[in-house]
Structure 1
Amino acid sequence: MKLLCLLKPLSQQHSDLLKATAIVLVIYAVSAIFDLAEHFTRWAAPLDAYELDELPVLMLALALASVWFSHRRMREIKNEMQLRAQSEHALARLAQENQALARHAMQVQEEERRFIARELHDDMGQYLTAIRLDAAALANTADAKAASHAQRIISHTAHIQSAMKGLLHRLRHAALDAHGLLEALKTLVEEWKAQHLNIHCELALDESCNALSHASNIVIFRVLQEALTNIARHAQASHVSITLAITDTATRPAVQLQIRDDGMGFKLTASGYGFGLTGMRERVEGAGGTLHLINENGLQIHVNLPL
């Protein structure tokens, strides 16, 4: 057993110590065999005025000073490494806390979206419908001037209802709750294509992505929603390609969303573009994923969410 312990590989520190000890012993043996000290004394005797015979003492003092300096420096390096390790640990902990806060903020945001959408639909929707019905009744009166004003009220009310419908659609997509992620994405893309007939859009969805968590569904839907909005406003693209699939990475399975367009790419000077991308990145990273941009021949957005 002792032999096995001796055969174990030595640490770098012990190995260096053994090497230094061996070098000292070899120098001592050579000095003893060849009487180097006596030869040095005889050589230095004619130069006694220069006190060369004190060189061994000086060399010993330098060696001791070097040992002290090296030991002190090693302690400083060790302390610096400990402080760095503590800092890295603190940064990792802060990153985890920030991720948890971002995830909580996104959850609160979705709850607020749901609440606002419900209030708009239930309260304001009813009032707008009542205004429209009253205006329609007023339009049937004999007073031509009043009827004209009533028609304008009907038109304005219809415009407000249409705008509110779009706002409700952005706040909370009903298909996401009713039919799942894939159907919601298909509906989102079809509605977007109907509004942008000059842009050809391709959508490829992996059916296995319909069993993702609710949190992942929200992230993917919101990222695609924001990406399509940015493309329509800033990209000047003629072709868009969207792919959603589950892949096996080196560590764990992940869902990957890829959005490509052949537009003018990402420009920092584009108003609202950078803000939208920042919001997408915060949402993805809050869910523990990554968002990577390739700004070449258009813009490519690669989202990776671990399962």
Structure 2
Amino acid sequence: MRPDSPTSSAEAPASRSTVRRDLACVLALTVLAAVLCMRFDVGELTYSLTRRFERFQLDEFPPTLVVLATGLAWFAWRRYRESQRELLHRRALEEKAERLLADNRRLASESIGAQENERRHFARELHDELGQYLNAIALDAGRIRDLSTEGEPEVHRLSLAVMQSASTVYRQIGGMIRRLRPIGLDEFGLPSALEHCVESWRERLPQASFTLTVEGDFANLADVLNITLYRLVQEGLTNVSKFARTSRVEIYLVRTADDARATRDEIVVTMTDDGPGIDLTKPRAGLGLIGMRERVEAIGGEFHIASQPGSGFLFCARVPVQAGLPEPNEPSELAELAKSVK
């Protein structure tokens, strides 16, 4: 919580009003006690009851009690001031922790963005450079095959082997490119890329059924947000292939406004399956769910999972639509670093 936040600024008047209310209650009780004492002559009644014990000097107790009450009031005031100082110190530490957490999330988001930019560049280089040369090799091998005669069977065989090798390497590079950068994400947007991803898993897992539902506008989102949502679905489908190969999988991607938080625009992605489920109380060896949670929380989102043995598995992620976008008139640290290098 930042010091200039509305919640923090509203706490001080609330605390002062509580102090005023308590003091008003003390004064009101004091006045009421004085009125009751005057009405029922408490002093004379007390004197008549204690007159038989004059030898014990009971009439000297009121000043002593006044001193004791004053000392207790001073003691309570000192404890109150100390508690206020401790409370202020704790609030300062909490605000510092919140700032450090926000900075950590921002830096993690910047790191993910830089990583995805590097992956995009690497995938483009693989496609443009190596893909071009592999196509050239395949074409040259095809030309050699066509020119080889029946009297040159070895040349014909070798040309076919070169074409097969080039085709194999090209497929491997295509797989690397798909892992580095989702197909269609930059060209057609997030929904199309997710549909392509789900379709590929339909082919790999014919015994499972997949349903993808997309609602809302997913244009003009930050690249780090797009890639985070894609990686969530991708990791979820990978877990399905490991633990629920014959289940029914339902994926929902919805852009909505959360009324509970003053119409905050959010994107919610949910994936459910009716597979065997897991026991969340037991430690897990894999890092897939941990990586999913870290990705979501790095851009200021929330990540929740629910599962029981025999009851399937569900995960739900909520992320703000503005995640990954630079603040107005506030360039990112990467841009500032680039300017300083120039």
Q: TM-score, normalized by length of structure 1?
A: 0.79
Contact 2:250 2:272 in 1 (8 A): yes
Cα deviation, residue 25, structure 1: 2.0
Contact 2:213 2:251 in 1 (8 A): yes
- Report the Cα distance in structure 1 between the residues aligned to 2:248 and 2:234, rounded to whole angstroms: 16
After TM superposition, the structure 1 = structure 2 runs for residues 38-77 of structure 1, keeping only pairs within 5 Å, are: 38-39=47-48, 42-46=51-55, 48=56, 52-77=58-83
Shift in CA distance, 40/87, structure 1 to aligned 2, threshold 3 Å? farther
Distance 2:63 2:40 in 1: 16
The residue number in structure 1 matching 2:176 is 167
More helix as a share of residues = 1
User: Structure 2: any 5+ residue segments left out of the alignment?
Assistant: 1-17, 322-342
Question: Structure 1 45/283 Cα, relative in aligned 2: closer, same or farther at 3 Å?
Answer: same
1:211 aligns with 2:219: yes
Q: Within 2, Cα distance between the matches of 1:153 and 1:279?
A: 41
1:19 aligns to 2:41 (yes or no): no
Q: 1:150 Cα shift?
A: 7.6
Counterpart among 99, 107, 128 of residue 113 in structure 2: 107
Q: Is the 8 A contact 2:190 2:226 kept in 1?
A: yes
**8 Å CA contact retained: 1:99, 1:285:** yes
Gaps of 5+ in 1: 1-8
1:122-168 CA-partner distances (Å, limit 9, x unpaired): 34445555666777789879585x98788767655544432321121
Q: How many residues are paired up? A: 292
Q: 1:269 to 1:36 in 2, by over 3 A?
A: closer
Secondary structure of the 1:260 match is strand
- Aligned partner of 1:122 in structure 2 is 128
Match of 1:277 in 2: 289
Which amino acid is the alignment partner of residue 291 of structure 1?
A: F
Please state if 1:301 is matched with 2:301. Answer: no
State the match for 2:91 in structure 1.
85
Across the aligned residues of Structure 1 and Structure 2, the Cα RMSD in angstroms comes to 3.3
SS of 1:203's equivalent? strand
**Fraction of identical pairs, as percent:** 32
Residues 237 and 261, structure 1, Cα contact 8 Å, conserved in 2: no
Change in Cα spacing, 1:42 to 1:122, as seen in structure 2 (3 Å) is same
Which of the two has higher C-alpha Rg? 1
Distance in 2 between residues matched to 1:257 and 1:212, nearest whole Å: 18
Counterpart of 2:239 in structure 1 is 230
Give CA-to-partner distance per residue, 1:197-256, whole Å, 9 cap, x none. 1211111222x3343513333222221122112221234442111112223321323222
CA distance in 1, matches of 2:34, 2:301: 59
3-state SS of paired residue (2:212): strand
Q: What SS does structure 1 have at the residue aligned with 2:277?
A: coil
- Offset at 1:111? 0.5
TM-score, length-scaled by structure 2: 0.72
Question: Which residue pairs with 1:291 in the alignment?
Answer: 303
Deviation by residue 1:41-77 (Cα, 9 ceiling, x = unmatched)? 523224x3xx655433432232122111111111112
The CA distance in 1 between the partners of 2:52 and 2:230, in whole Å, is 89
Separation (CA, whole Å) in 1 of partners of 2:39 and 2:53: 20
Contact 2:217 / 2:255 at 8 angstroms: preserved in 1?
yes
Looking at structure 2, the residues matched to 213 and 235 of structure 1 have their Cα atoms a distance apart, in angstroms, of: 32
Change (3 A) 1:14 1:45: closer
Say if 1:258 and 1:85 are closer, same or farther in 2 by CA, change over 3 A: same
Q: 1:195 to 1:10 in 2, by over 3 A?
A: closer
1:19 Cα offset (Å): 2.1
Whole-angstrom distance in 2 between the partners of 1:80 and 1:187: 56
Distance 2:19 2:95 in 1: 30
Q: Structure 1 residues 260, 10: CA separation in 2 closer, same or farther (over 3 Å shift)?
A: closer
Whether the 8 Å contact between 1:209 and 1:244 is mirrored in structure 2 is no
Aligned partners of 2:244 and 2:275 also within 8 Å: yes
Look up the equivalent residue of 2:47 and give its one-letter code.
Answer: E
Correspondence for 2:188: 179
Instruction: Tell me by how many angstroms 1:33 deviates.
Output: 5.7
Counterpart AA for 1:304:
R
Instruction: Quote the residue 1:5 is aligned against.
Output: none
